[in-house]
């Protein structure tokens, strides 16, 4: 029997990071995370890590963004993202929702 190499598909993580290189897709991804009814504590941290990784691969991540992410990641680790999800829940009960959009360039 001969050795047959079967081409493997990209992993989901590779596919996701490739998709998140598009800023509009990344914004929708973050927004969807914040709309979760019963979010897992690690969900927001993972979403932000994925967006950061995509931006790094795209060479569009500044040093200040990296530092800001490290600070936020530490805060989210300590709190389990409770404050952010509580804020989103309060807005929801008031009839508002979070919307993530691209920043206008000057």
And the tokens for 104? Answer: 């206008």
Alpha-carbon distance of 3 to 56, in angstroms, equals: 38
Question: With bands split at pLDDT 50, 70 and 90, how would you rate the model's confidence at 24?
Answer: very high
**pLDDT > 60? residue 1:** no
- The predicted pLDDT at position 104 comes to 84
SS3 15: helix
Q: What is the pLDDT of residues 48-101, one digit of tens each?
A: 999 999 999 988 888 898 899 999 999 888 888 888 888 999 999 999 998 999
Place of tokens 């931006």: 55
- For residue 83, what pLDDT is reported? 87
pLDDT for position 50: 95
Q: Where is pLDDT greater, at 53 or 39?
A: 53
Q: What is the pLDDT of residue 8?
A: 59
Could you write out the DSSP letters of every residue in 26-89?
HHHHHHHHHT-SS--TTHHHHHHHHHHHHHHHTT---HHHHHHHHHHHHHHHHHTTHHHHHHHH
């Amino acid at each position: 029997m001969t050795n047959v190499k079967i081409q493997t598909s990209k992993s989901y993580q590779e596919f996701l990071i490739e998709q998140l290189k598009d800023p509009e897709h990344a914004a929708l991804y973050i927004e969807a995370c914040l709309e979760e009814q019963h979010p897992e504590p690690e969900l927001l941290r993972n979403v932000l890590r994925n967006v950061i990784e995509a931006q790094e691969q795209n060479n569009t991540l500044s040093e200040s963004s990296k530092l800001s992410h490290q600070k936020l990641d530490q805060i989210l680790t300590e709190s389990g993202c409770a404050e952010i999800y509580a804020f989103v829940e309060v807005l929801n009960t008031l009839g508002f929702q979070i919307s993530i959009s691209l920043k206008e360039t000057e």
